[in-house]
């Protein structure tokens, strides 16, 4: 049986004449031999194409739109350069992420600082680096921000992160816009309004320019986004009458769902952009608030992007990067528990991918050196860590597998390497980028020495 590759694999992935998986013209079996496993392989062309696709989908519909890459999904100098080349900005949450941006020379006006508990050092580092946009998450950081802005003689542009009480229908750990979320200022309780008033008090030091909401992750339904746009624009109107606020930026966060298994359908970028931009146009009634420098007609009008200076901001993380990488593991032990299940143990697991253990995330796999062999067994892919919950995949159909075979798991680009740990003191994997038949290391494999370098032994 000639199996084909599903579109869970990056776009340059092929099955080559040796019946092996190939990415960007590189045979994955050769890559595993050269760089070792577990190995994360990024498809450079896929990553760049995806960034351009998402950027263009929004810019063609709303000229003044800015796509920020949510760096928590995975940031490294290589990734930073790819997204910088594509003209994207970034959403950062730490000094580490800021430092990478600084090293690659990303212009600070495309950096938005986030966080539900930003430290004074982080805010200071961001302002000193020239970062223009701070997304305020709570009342306490307003005074801190005003003090630091004063000290550094800068005038940051601020967005209020709101919790609009919208359920995004996703895993409960990934729902961040609901009323009880630790993120954002709850709109219903008056706290969001209070934050805006406090900011107005510091108007000479801080400029409130916009509203933000990130309602969650792995969202496949567009309705929660429409509701969020309605909630945010309504609140902008309230703020206009309360404190004369002029909305200049609307930031809708990220969260766009990405399929990890064949049964999940991808959200088409074009549909996403069309729905968001058109519901945004629909929600702009000039009677409610006026967009600076614009000449907007009330609802139902068909606005042209040129008619508004209002900036639409988006912060996808996973949707920009998840599908561009494949994780490759080597099979070691195989344990058949008769009438129960067969475990195929690999040389990675929860140390490089915590998502199945943490969220019950689903994945699929192929045998990279037996790509066209027909499936004959159903097995679980178990990790090597000392934890019963360390199961990467509960059940997957595979050809007969033996020790030394290579398991390839697609959709490995987001929230795996950045959430990796050294549990059991096992070094974190190498990451490579492949393009046009060549592969290069973008993160070398950790060594035991690397892991021990912070321990003090007197």
Catalytic site positions: 386
> Please, which residue, 237 or 266, has the CB nearer to ligand LLP?
266
Q: Bridge partners of 378? A: 397
Stretch of 233-241, 274-282, 314-322, 329-337 contacting ligand LLP, by CB under 6 A: 314-322
Residue 352 binding ligand LLP, by CB under 6 A: no
Residue 133 binding ligand LLP, by CB under 6 A: no
Q: Which DSSP state fits 183?
A: S
Dihedral over alpha carbons 179, 182, 185, 188 (to 10 degrees):
20
> Please, which residue, 69 or 289, has the CB nearer to ligand LLP?
69
Question: Which residue in 325, 324, 277 sits closest to 67, CA to CA?
Answer: 277
> Please, which residue, 110 or 370, has the CB nearer to ligand LLP?
110
> Please, which residue, 367 or 392, has the CB nearer to ligand LLP?
392
Residue 210 binding ligand LLP, by CB under 6 A: no
Residue 254 binding ligand LLP, by CB under 6 A: yes
x/- map, 369-408, ligand LLP, by CB under 6 A: ----------------------------------------
> Please, which residue, 26 or 354, has the CB nearer to ligand LLP?
354
By CB under 6 A, how many residues form the interface with ligand LLP? 20
Contact with ligand LLP (CB under 6 A) among 226, 355, 370, 443? 355
x/- map, 221-240, ligand LLP, by CB under 6 A: --------------------
Q: What is the distance between the alpha carbons of residues 322 and 418, in angstroms, rounded to a whole number?
A: 12
Residue 369 burial (C-beta neighbours within 10 Å; 0-12, 13-18, 19+): buried
Q: Which residues contact 63 (CB under 8 A, 6 or more apart)?
A: 305, 306
Q: What is the distance between the alpha carbons of residues 368 and 366, in angstroms, rounded to a whole number?
A: 6
Residue 315 binding ligand LLP, by CB under 6 A: yes
Task: State both tokens at 281.
Answer: 């146009």
Where residue 384 falls (left for φ over 0; alpha for ψ -120 to 50; beta otherwise) is alpha
Residue 256 binding ligand LLP, by CB under 6 A: yes
- Residue 186 contacts residue 209 (beta carbons within 8 Å): no
CB of 404 to ligand LLP, least distance (A): 30
> Please, which residue, 379 or 412, has the CB nearer to ligand LLP?
412
Stretch of 232-240, 253-261, 303-311, 376-384 contacting ligand LLP, by CB under 6 A: 253-261
Contact with ligand LLP (CB under 6 A) among 47, 73, 195, 273? 73
- Residue 91 contacts residue 122 (beta carbons within 8 Å): no
Measure CA of the first residue to CA of the last residue in the chain; give whole Å: 62
Phi, psi of 6 (to 5 degrees): -80, 165
Q: What is the distance between the alpha carbons of residues 14 and 319, in angstroms, rounded to a whole number?
A: 22
Residue 272 binding ligand LLP, by CB under 6 A: no
Contact with ligand LLP (CB under 6 A) among 80, 319, 368, 382? 319
How many residues make up the chain in this entry? 458
| Angle, CA of 209, 213 and 214, to the nearest 5° | 140
Binding site for ligand LLP (CB under 6 A): 70, 72-73, 91, 114, 174, 214, 217, 253-256, 315-319, 355, 359, 415
């Amino acid at each position: 049986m000639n199996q084909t590759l599903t579109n869970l694999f990056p776009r340059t992935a092929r099955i080559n004449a040796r019946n092996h998986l190939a990415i960007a013209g590189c045979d994955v079996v050769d890559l595993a031999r050269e760089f070792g496993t577990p190995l994360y392989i990024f498809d450079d062309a896929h990553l760049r194409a995806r960034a351009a696709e998402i950027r263009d989908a929004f810019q063609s519909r709303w000229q003044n739109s800015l796509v920020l890459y949510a760096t928590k999904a995975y940031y490294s100098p290589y990734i930073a350069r790819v997204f910088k080349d594509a003209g994207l900005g970034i959403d950062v949450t730490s000094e580490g992420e800021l430092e990478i941006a600084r090293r690659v020379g990303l212009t600070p006006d495309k950096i938005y600082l986030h966080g539900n508990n930003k430290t004074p050092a982080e805010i200071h580092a961001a302002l000193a680096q020239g970062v223009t946009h701070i997304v305020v998450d709570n009342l306490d950081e307003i005074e801190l921000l005003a003090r630091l802005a004063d000290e550094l003689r800068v005038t940051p542009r601020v967005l209020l992160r709101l919790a609009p009480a919208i359920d995004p229908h996703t895993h409960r750990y990934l729902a961040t816009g609901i009323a009880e979320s630790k993120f954002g200022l709850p709109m219903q309780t008056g706290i969001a309004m209070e934050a805006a008033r406090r900011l107005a008090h510091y108007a000479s030091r801080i400029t409130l320019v916009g509203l933000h909401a990130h309602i969650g992750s792995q969202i496949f339904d567009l309705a929660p986004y429409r509701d969020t746009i309605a909630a945010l624009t309504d609140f902008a109107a309230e703020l206009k009458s309360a404190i004369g606020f002029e909305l200049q930026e609307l930031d809708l966060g990220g969260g766009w769902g990405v399929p990890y298994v064949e049964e999940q359908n991808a959200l088409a970028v074009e549909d996403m952009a069309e729905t968001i931009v058109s519901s945004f146009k629909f929600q702009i009634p000039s009677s409610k608030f006026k967009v600076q420098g614009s000449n907007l007609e009330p609802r139902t009008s068909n606005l042209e992007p040129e008619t508004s200076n209002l900036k639409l901001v988006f912060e996808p993380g996973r949707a920009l990067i998840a599908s561009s990488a494949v994780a490759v593991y080597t099979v070691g032990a195989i344990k058949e528990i008769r009438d129960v299940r067969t475990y195929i143990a690999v040389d990675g697991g929860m140390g490089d991918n915590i998502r199945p253990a943490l969220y019950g995330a689903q994945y699929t796999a192929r045998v990279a050196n037996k790509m066209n062999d027909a499936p004959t067994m159903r097995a679980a892919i178990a990790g090597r860590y000392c934890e019963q919950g360390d199961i990467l995949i509960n059940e997957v159909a595979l050809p007969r597998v033996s020790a030394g075979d290579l398991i390839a798991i697609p959709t490995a680009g987001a929230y795996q390497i950045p959430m990796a740990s050294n549990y059991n003191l096992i070094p974190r994997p190498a990451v490579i980028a492949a393009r046009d038949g060549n592969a290069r290391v973008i993160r070398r494999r950790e060594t035991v020495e690397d892991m021990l370098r912070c321990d003090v032994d007197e």
